[in-house]
Amino acid sequence: MKLPFLKKGIVIGFFLIIAWTTIVLIAASAIGIVTYEEVRYFFWLMPISLPIFILLFSHSSPPEMGRHGENRTRLALITTFVCLAVAFIAGILKGKP
């Protein structure tokens, strides 16, 4: 069942917003601006929303995004993944002994 009112770009955009929010929260907690206890519910957004976004992406329209749209999406997702990995590693290395 396709969802004609939901476009692939919108689903990817919402996913990127949640991913970048997670990156900012990891950096803020690693620096000490906030504690994990203050923002722990926001950290749950990424693992909970990932399967939902995959399901929405597979049922959204149009079936194909076009060459230019695919390239932009790949670049955005790769950049987000690299920044998320760097934030995780920096958070682990910055952790308290």
pLDDT along the chain (97 residues), means of 10: 73 88 88 86 84 82 77 89 89 70
Q: Is the pTM of this model over 0.85?
A: no
Provide the 10 A C-beta neighbour count for residue 72: 14
CA 97 to chain centre: 29
Taking the CA of residue 51 as centre, how many other CA atoms within 13 Å lie in the half-sphere pointing to its CB? 3
| Long-range contacts formed by 34-38: CB under 8 A, 24+ apart | none
Summarize pLDDT for 26-53 with one digit per residue, the tens: 888 888 888 888 888 888 887 888 888 8
